[in-house]
């Protein structure tokens, strides 16, 4: 059975679902309010320098999911890239994530892996077990000195609240290593598409059964013209924000060009509370296979997201959780719509997880139709 489905949003979620359904004989219309595809992964060449810029912030593809890695490699050539992050604090440059080099440099020691492990165990404050929040988690892992130098100020700037108000899970994204391995990620596959993420997403959407409308914002009455809607816009926007807005952090980028090499690496973090920005991204270092004389640099600042701003990071503190549960309960009552992706399910999702969930959602939809269950209404639970 063939359906006419509407996809709201041409980010990775929308594109992957659109392609799977189109490949299975469905007619797909995609509406995207921006002037480009790829959502927040959008990349574009800077006209002046020719550098490929990650317009909404730095994006590195990393995953352990072999099927997802094969999937993206079908639509783009990925070049090897290993993310190595530096941090400037207290007038020194260190390596992140915290590794043996960071520890030995910071404490002016030459500890072996086992000695460093024993040393940090002495530094660690494990009086609160299990750790209840970000600060307790950090103190129990690395102790007060490393926490103050690398995490406290950065986290306060990034999230706008004291680290004791944040869930411990945010820190679990970052490992501590007792070796000199300074790879920021520990996944089996890592890379960056040679011609950028926008070319990747455009390729996924390139199918005769997919009609794409850019610069087109979705309006609820449009849904009536379709058998099903896959909605990757903000969950609260679907309901007109009628019981309040879910909280997000947004980012401001101070962009400038530089003749030559500005900082010698793709990403330099500034964890100190007295520096107003969180990190500086130098985009040409994301494409080490290209040669550019000049450079494009983004200084990144985080702040609360207003109604007119681009939503970046879902905050998910206690008050957001209560509001979220209200919206989720109502979303589950909706028929003919599936809420997907970072905004539709109000979660921080990396690109690989976004693709995995989009593929699973589209497959489930096709399988349900094959069983004669028409227009299933479901959502990925936040
Ligand atoms: P989005 O990319 O947000 O796409 C949703 C689309 O829907 C947007 O284009 C939006 O314009 C459109 N839309 C919304 N409402 C409407 C409407 N009413 N009508 C029409 N269109 C609408 N992931 C990684 O794996 N590695 C990284 O290094 C990484 N770095 C990141 C850095 C930053 C600063 C941020 C914010 C995220 C990062 N991510 C990273 C996560 C990555 O951006 C997401 O996984 C991915 O963008 C999610 O895709 P999506 O399609 O769900 O959402
Ligand atoms: N973080 C920090 N100092 C750093 C880098 C990260 O305190 O130099 C904390 C911060 O709270 C951040 C979290 O670790 O939100 C996750 O960091 P990651 O680099 O994964 O952030 P993202 O790229 O998702 O913004």
- Residue pLDDT, tens place only, 75-96: 999 999 999 999 999 999 999 9
Q: Is 279 a catalytic residue?
A: yes
Q: pLDDT at residue 380 above 90? A: no
Element of type H or E holding 320: helix 318-331
**What is the model's pLDDT at position 211?**
98
Q: Is 173 a catalytic residue?
A: yes
User: What is the 283 CA–ligand 1 centroid distance (Å)?
Assistant: 19
Q: Is 342 a catalytic residue?
A: no
SS3 percent helix, strand, coil of the chain, rounded to 5, is 35, 20, 45
For ligand 1, whether the C-beta of 59 sits within 6 Å is yes
Q: Which of 94, 61, 96 shows the shortest CA–CA distance to 184?
A: 96
**What is the model's pLDDT at position 374?**
61
For ligand 2, whether the C-beta of 147 sits within 6 Å is no
* Segments making up each domain of the chain, as ranges: 4-37+205-242+316-379, 99-170
Please, what is the Cα angle at 85 between 131 and 38, to 5 degrees? 95
| Domain formed by 4-37+205-242+316-379, architecture | 3-Layer(aba) Sandwich (3.40)
Q: pLDDT at residue 223 above 90? A: yes
Closest ligand to residue 14's CA: 1
**What is the model's pLDDT at position 320?**
81
Residue 117 — pLDDT band, cuts 50, 70, 90? very high
For ligand 1, whether the C-beta of 191 sits within 6 Å is no
**31: β partners:** 8, 213
Q: Say if CB 149 and CB 271 are below 8 A apart.
A: yes
Atom nearest to 59 CA in ligand 1: 28
Contacts from 105-114 at CB under 8 Å and sequence distance 24+? 106/145, 106/146, 106/149, 107/145, 113/178, 113/179, 114/178
More confident residue, 316 or 117: 117
More confident residue, 131 or 187: 187
**What is the model's pLDDT at position 258?**
98
Distance CA 337, CA 89 (A): 48
**What is the model's pLDDT at position 335?**
87
Q: Say if CB 229 and CB 28 are below 8 A apart.
A: no
Residue 173 — pLDDT band, cuts 50, 70, 90? low
* Structure tokens, 231: 């909605």
Q: Say if CB 9 and CB 352 are below 8 A apart.
A: no
Closest ligand to residue 213's CA: 1
Residue 130 — pLDDT band, cuts 50, 70, 90? confident
CA atoms within 13 Å, Cβ hemisphere of 170: 23
Distance CA 99, CA 101 (A): 5
Closest ligand to residue 40's CA: 1
Q: pLDDT at residue 154 above 70? A: yes
Atom nearest to 269 CA in ligand 2: 8
Pairing of strands 189-193, 61-63: antiparallel
Residue 227 — pLDDT band, cuts 50, 70, 90? very high
Residue 34 — pLDDT band, cuts 50, 70, 90? very high
Q: pLDDT at residue 174 above 90? A: no
User: What is the 286 CA–ligand 2 centroid distance (Å)?
Assistant: 18
Distance CA 186, CA 265 (A): 19
**What is the model's pLDDT at position 370?**
85
> pTM value?
0.96
Q: Is 249 a catalytic residue?
A: yes
Catalytic residue among 236, 300, 352, 357: 300
Catalytic residue among 301, 312, 313, 348: 348
For ligand 2, whether the C-beta of 379 sits within 6 Å is no
Please, what is the Cα angle at 121 between 117 and 122, to 5 degrees? 120
**What is the model's pLDDT at position 378?**
54
For ligand 2, whether the C-beta of 198 sits within 6 Å is no
Mutate to test the pocket of ligand 1, among 6, 7, 9 (most ligand atoms within 8 A of CB): 9
**What is the model's pLDDT at position 126?**
80
Q: Is 177 a catalytic residue?
A: yes
Catalytic residue among 79, 245, 249, 347: 249
Distance CA 156, CA 145 (A): 16
């Amino acid at each position: 059975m063939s359906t006419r489905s509407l996809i709201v949003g041409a980010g990775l979620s929308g594109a992957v679902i659109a392609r799977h359904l189109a490949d299975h004989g469905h007619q797909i219309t995609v509406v995207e309010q921006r002037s480009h595809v790829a959502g927040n992964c959008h990349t574009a060449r800077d006209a002046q320098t020719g550098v490929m810029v990650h317009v909404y912030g730095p994006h590195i593809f990393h995953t352990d999911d072999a099927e997802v890695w094969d999937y993206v490699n079908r639509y783009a050539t990925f070049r090897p890239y290993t993310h190595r992050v530096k941090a400037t604090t207290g007038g020194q440059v260190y390596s992140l994530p915290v590794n043996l080099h960071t520890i030995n440099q910071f404490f002016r020691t030459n500890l072996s892996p086992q000695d460093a492990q024993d040393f940090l165990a002495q530094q660690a404050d494990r009086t609160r077990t299990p750790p209840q929040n970000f600060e307790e988690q950090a103190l129990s892992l690395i102790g007060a000195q490393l926490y103050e130098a690398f995490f406290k100020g950065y986290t306060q700037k990034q999230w706008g609240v004291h680290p004791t108000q944040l869930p411990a899970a945010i820190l679990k994204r970052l490992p501590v290593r007792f070796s000199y391995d300074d790879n920021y990620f520990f996944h089996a596959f890592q890379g960056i598409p040679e011609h950028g993420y926008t070319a990747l997403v455009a390729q996924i959407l390139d199918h005769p059964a997919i009609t794409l409308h850019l610069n087109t914002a979705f309006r609820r009455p449009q849904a009536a013209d379709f058998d099903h809607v896959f909605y990757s816009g903000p969950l609260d926007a679907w309901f007109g924000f009628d019981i309040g807005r879910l909280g997000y952090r947004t980012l401001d980028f101070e962009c400038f060009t530089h003749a030559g090499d500005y900082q010698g690496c793709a990403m330099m973090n500034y964890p100190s509370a007295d520096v107003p920005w969180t990190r500086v991204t130098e985009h040409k270092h994301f494409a080490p296979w290209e040669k550019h004389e000049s450079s494009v640099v983004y200084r990144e600042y985080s702040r609360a997201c207003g109604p007119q701003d681009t939503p970046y990071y879902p905050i998910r503190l206690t008050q957001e959780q209560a509001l979220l549960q209200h919206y989720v309960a109502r979303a589950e009552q909706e028929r003919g719509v599936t809420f997907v992706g970072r905004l539709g399910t109000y979660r921080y999702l990396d690109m690989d997880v976004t693709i995995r969930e989009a593929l699973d959602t589209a497959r489930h939809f096709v399988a349900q139709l094959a069983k004669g269950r028409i227009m299933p209404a479901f959502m990925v639970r936040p």
